[in-house]
Chain A
Amino acid sequence: MELTLDRLTREFGPKIAVDRVSATLGPGVYGLLGANGAGKTTLMRMVCGVLRPTSGEVRYDGAPVARMGDEYRALLGYLPQDFGYYPEFTALDFMEYMAALKGLGRRDARDRSLALLERVGLGGEERRRIRTFSGGMRQRLGIAQAVLNDPEVLVLDEPTAGLDPKERVRFRNLIAGFARDKIVLLSTHIVSDVEHIADEILVMRAGSVVLSGPPAGLVAEAEGRVWEAVIPAEQAEALEAALTVGNVRHLEGGRALLRYVADEPRVPGSAPAEPTLEDLYLYVFRDGAAGAGSPRAARGSHFKEGRHG
């Protein structure tokens, strides 16, 4: 089981949303991190075959998915961002409808639908119309439909959007449960969603994957670039504007503990701190760049080029 992204590119007019992204994904959980507009959703749409690449291709076990058609889609589970639903359908209607679209038999569809609704915490709500659901409930319904066909490739675009902290934890456990022997690609701009469950992280910026690797390996990239300094509390606001600040914790006696990322210490008295994935994320996006697409002349630079170039 192997999903290959081969120089995937998608242009919208003069904008390049995804720029020659290549990756080979085996079974495991892949966290796609990036700011809004980095190209995550466009990349995922191409992986799911709902958006044709301008160039490049997606292959599943060596076969181009565009040619596999229904055969590939039968292996796929997809929760898009801004998941669309039919307001007058009940949760069970929707699940059974999706089951019919995924080719499940009638009885199997009913059994799996009820079991999955139970599993995502919607047991007892199956006869309620979706339009009466909260955002979090809809999102859980979306997750349930994505795994109805027990997919080999599960693509989840911003699956934690709209979930409260408790639901986020439940979601992480759900994904961990579903992910066994599957290729799971999930995008988020919230680092904590993926740092504990992802086997590998892909960081996107301006349409390109600028960094990839296991979370622990990536964190090491930020070694020596995370600093902490105790400052007078009244300076905190000014320093937040000037530096890439990860956290400000106010201490007793009018002082504050400032945590920031930078190549060199920028505040007197700074001491190196233990980096986290969030620090790395902040470091990668410290320029606040990564708009939705960029002219070809200004392609997103690779992390290492950014550091050394």
Chain B
Amino acid sequence: MARLILFELKKMLSRRVALVANVGVVVFLVAIMALNVVQTKTENARGEIVSGTEAIAQMRADAEEHAGTITAECAAADIAAYQETVFSRIDRDAVTQMTGSAVYDLMFQSFSDEEVYELYNPYWSWLLRPWRISGEEPAQTAVRVTPEMAADWYGAAAGLTQQSLDDGQGGMWEYSDAERAYWTDLRSSVPEPIEYGYSGGWGNVVDCAAFLVFPILAACVTLAPAFSFEYSSGADAVVLATRRGRSTLVAAKVVAGLAYATALFALSAAIIVGASLTFYGADGFGLSIQSMALTSPYPLTAGQAALACVGLMYAACLGFSCLTLALSSRTPSTLTVFLADVALVLLTGLVPSAGVGVLERVLALFPINFANFSVLFSALESYPLGPVVLDLIGTVLLVYAALVLVSTPVAVVSFRRRQVA
């Protein structure tokens, strides 16, 4: 069996197309992660645009300035301090009548560049998030927040989930009672107090996880001929007439295929995770996911969220690998198999949901769509299956596990029953 697996790996990887696809993907990921670091830009306190590692250091410093445990008292005190600073120089009532850009200009007229820089620290918009209306400047939100409201900061933060449920994804989806209960319960399980701080490395892993569709596609390119080449080349007649041709060989093909897909995925994930953690830092693993997005109802840490995202991409990788093997076992056309993979892995990212909730939920199951922080952890994508409600994470795992469990036997049985006509 071990020798057959090695031969199958050699068969798969010695094809020129497979070589180009695999080497190309690795080179692409290295290049894109290098660009990801080099192209990172932010503004420093002097109003200068800095990039690369300097920008990353600046973002880290900004987050660490407010790092710590955000108790309700701390949140209320920080909001009060912000209001006091901002409204000491600008008219509180006037801000409510102004547009966002007018308030932005007013901030620069009323404060020095360094002071404006601090007042636009992402921490403030994060802290005021429970009351923020889309398009609003933090100062405008702060106007409406009373000390009583600030004192119930955690209640307001939990209310974000209720707002999202009421909003129903902009009218696209009407949540059932079971779904509402699911999300409410999940939100209530978020540990308090929230730990705020810098978790740029883990955040970058989630931001770049969508690039993992390319190794998935490369795995599909490599696995597409696994069975179909045997048919199209006529080698099936030779191998199927051997002692192990209808038994061990099929198992060896599946094991080799999945081992290869796992190795390629692991290498690709190592490039993304390694580059992210090396350049953005590995600190912040234990920070609450809410420190990245307060709207998230998940009781996860930033590091767990990043690993969950990569794990789901791996599930998709295995699912598509098995699907490719199944398709390959059913047709002699490698191109047909490859085109089906491209359509499912890449083109699903181009299909608009057009405001249709069901379509949105179907599309969210494809890796190019779910490898996104907002879709995965904040969008409240739920799938009511009778009385049971699954979230996107659970449904993705279920769908790809089902794909593996259905596709693998299809591939095995199809090859074993192959008739050379």
Query: Hey, which bits of chain A sit against chain B, CB under 8 A?
Result: 12, 42, 45, 48-52, 69-70, 73-74, 76, 78-80, 82-86, 88-89, 93, 96-98, 100-103, 106, 142, 145, 149, 155
Most A CB atoms within 10 A — which of B10, B230, B234, B421? B421
Per the bound structure, the CA–CA distance linking A103 and B239 in Å amounts to 12
Are the C-beta atoms of A51 and B420 separated by less than 8 Å?
yes
Picked from A42, A70, A98, the residue with its CB within 8 Å of the CB of B238 is A98
Task: For residue A129, give the distance in angstroms from its CB to the closest CB of chain B.
Answer: 9
Are the C-beta atoms of B10 and A78 separated by less than 8 Å?
no
Chain A binder among B58-66, B132-140, B209-217, B243-251: B243-251
Can you list 15 A-B pairs with a CB-CB distance of less than 8 A? Answer: A50-B419, A52-B419, A69-B246, A70-B246, A73-B243, A74-B243, A84-B236, A84-B238, A85-B233, A86-B11, A88-B11, A89-B10, A100-B4, A103-B244, A142-B238
What chain B residues lie within 8 Å of A69 (beta carbons)?
246
Q: Which 7 A-B pairs have the closest CB atoms?
A: A84-B234, A84-B235, A88-B14, A84-B233, A80-B237, A101-B242, A74-B243
Chain B stretch 1-44: residues in CB contact (< 8 A) with chain A: 3-4, 7, 10-11, 14-15
**Interface: B354 (CB within 8 A):** no
Per the bound structure, the CA–CA distance linking A103 and B245 in Å amounts to 10
Per the bound structure, the CA–CA distance linking A96 and B6 in Å amounts to 11
Per the bound structure, the CA–CA distance linking A103 and B249 in Å amounts to 11
Task: For residue B190, give the distance in angstroms from its CB to the closest CB of chain A.
Answer: 54
Most A CB atoms within 10 A — which of B230, B234, B237? B237
Per the bound structure, the CA–CA distance linking A97 and B244 in Å amounts to 11
Chain A minimum-CB-distance residue to B234: A84
Task: For residue B240, give the distance in angstroms from its CB to the closest CB of chain A.
Answer: 5
Task: For residue A118, give the distance in angstroms from its CB to the closest CB of chain B.
Answer: 21
What chain A residues lie within 8 Å of B7 (beta carbons)?
93, 96-97, 100
Per the bound structure, the CA–CA distance linking A102 and B245 in Å amounts to 8
**Interface: B350 (CB within 8 A):** no
**Interface: B388 (CB within 8 A):** no
Given contacts A80-B238, A84-B235, A145-B238, contact A101 B420 (CB under 8 A): no
6 other A-B residue contacts (CB within 8 Å) besides A78-B238, A101-B239: A78-B237, A84-B235, A100-B3, A102-B243, A145-B238, A149-B242
Are the C-beta atoms of A83 and B238 separated by less than 8 Å?
yes
Picked from A73, A79, A89, A93, the residue with its CB within 8 Å of the CB of B242 is A73
Are the C-beta atoms of B244 and A102 separated by less than 8 Å?
yes
**Interface: B385 (CB within 8 A):** no
Chain B minimum-CB-distance residue to A148: B242
**Interface: B241 (CB within 8 A):** yes
Per the bound structure, the CA–CA distance linking A100 and B244 in Å amounts to 8
Are the C-beta atoms of A98 and B242 separated by less than 8 Å?
yes
Per the bound structure, the CA–CA distance linking A50 and B243 in Å amounts to 12
Per the bound structure, the CA–CA distance linking A124 and B238 in Å amounts to 24
Are the C-beta atoms of B233 and A73 separated by less than 8 Å?
no
Chain B interface category by residue count:
20 to 34
Picked from B10, B237, B243, the residue with its CB within 8 Å of the CB of A149 is B243
Are the C-beta atoms of A12 and B421 separated by less than 8 Å?
yes
Are the C-beta atoms of A80 and B234 separated by less than 8 Å?
yes
Query: Hey, which bits of chain B sit against chain A, CB under 8 A?
Result: 3-4, 7, 10-11, 14-15, 230, 233-247, 249, 418-421
Are the C-beta atoms of A48 and B10 separated by less than 8 Å?
no
What chain A residues lie within 8 Å of B234 (beta carbons)?
80, 82-84
Chain A minimum-CB-distance residue to B420: A50
Are the C-beta atoms of A84 and B3 separated by less than 8 Å?
no
Given contacts A52-B419, A70-B247, A88-B15, contact A101 B4 (CB under 8 A): yes
Per the bound structure, the CA–CA distance linking A52 and B416 in Å amounts to 12
Per the bound structure, the CA–CA distance linking A12 and B243 in Å amounts to 27
Task: For residue B98, give the distance in angstroms from its CB to the closest CB of chain A.
Answer: 69
Per the bound structure, the CA–CA distance linking A74 and B245 in Å amounts to 10
Are the C-beta atoms of A101 and B237 separated by less than 8 Å?
no
Are the C-beta atoms of A85 and B235 separated by less than 8 Å?
yes
Per the bound structure, the CA–CA distance linking A45 and B241 in Å amounts to 9
Per the bound structure, the CA–CA distance linking A83 and B235 in Å amounts to 7
What chain A residues lie within 8 Å of B245 (beta carbons)?
73, 101
Are the C-beta atoms of B239 and A51 separated by less than 8 Å?
no
Chain A minimum-CB-distance residue to B19: A88
What chain A residues lie within 8 Å of B421 (beta carbons)?
12, 42, 45, 51
Per the bound structure, the CA–CA distance linking A80 and B241 in Å amounts to 10
Chain A minimum-CB-distance residue to B6: A100
Most B CB atoms within 10 A — which of A50, A69, A79, A145? A50
Most A CB atoms within 10 A — which of B15, B233, B238, B421? B238
Are the C-beta atoms of A89 and B14 separated by less than 8 Å?
yes
Are the C-beta atoms of A70 and B237 separated by less than 8 Å?
no
Chain A minimum-CB-distance residue to B15: A88
Given contacts A50-B236, A80-B237, A80-B238, contact A101 B249 (CB under 8 A): yes
What chain A residues lie within 8 Å of B4 (beta carbons)?
97, 100-101
Most A CB atoms within 10 A — which of B230, B242, B419? B242
Task: For residue A291, give the distance in angstroms from its CB to the closest CB of chain B.
Answer: 17
What chain B residues lie within 8 Å of A49 (beta carbons)?
240-241
Chain A minimum-CB-distance residue to B233: A84
Chain A minimum-CB-distance residue to B242: A101
Chain A minimum-CB-distance residue to B11: A86
Chain B minimum-CB-distance residue to A88: B14
Per the bound structure, the CA–CA distance linking A255 and B111 in Å amounts to 119
What chain A residues lie within 8 Å of B235 (beta carbons)?
84-86
Are the C-beta atoms of B241 and A78 separated by less than 8 Å?
yes
What chain A residues lie within 8 Å of B3 (beta carbons)?
96, 100, 106
Chain A minimum-CB-distance residue to B232: A84
Most B CB atoms within 10 A — which of A74, A79, A80? A80
Most B CB atoms within 10 A — which of A70, A80, A97, A101? A101
